[in-house]
Amino acid sequence: MKEIMKISEIENLQFNEKGLIPVITQCFKTKDVLMMAWMNKMAIERTIRLHKVTYFSRSRNELWEKGEISGNFQKLKMLIPDCDKDTLLAVVEQTGVACHKGTWSCFNETV
């Protein structure tokens, strides 16, 4: 099993012009893709330190820990950059549902 990246490795990541990086979140047990969100450096550092996934809200311009309001927490198991280091994969132990619309995953509809 891969490990959680180290805080010192954050400097190697490729953030966009707003200082953000996309994060794909996957369930550790089912391998389901749960959601996509954004992180900045502070969110990544907090996620690594606490093992509770913290994202950056673009609409509110602030950090938010998944589950702090809903109780649907995400315990970090792995945090892995992709080959270009411009996207992260957060593998989590999901408590409750992941989607803000009340479903297990944000990816439920077909096109």
* 73-84 pLDDT per residue, tens: 999 999 999 999
The number of beta carbons lying within 10 Å of the beta carbon of residue 13 is 18
CATH number at 19-94: 3.10.20.810
Contact call for residues 80 and 86 (beta carbons, < 8 A): no
In tens, the pLDDT along 9-67 reads 999 999 999 999 999 999 999 999 999 999 999 999 999 999 999 999 999 999 999 99
Contact call for residues 37 and 24 (beta carbons, < 8 A): no
Which letter does DSSP use for residue 66 in this model? T
- pTM of the entire structure? 0.93
Contact call for residues 76 and 4 (beta carbons, < 8 A): yes
Distance from C-alpha of 11 to C-alpha of 19, rounded to nearest angstrom: 12
Contact call for residues 4 and 75 (beta carbons, < 8 A): no
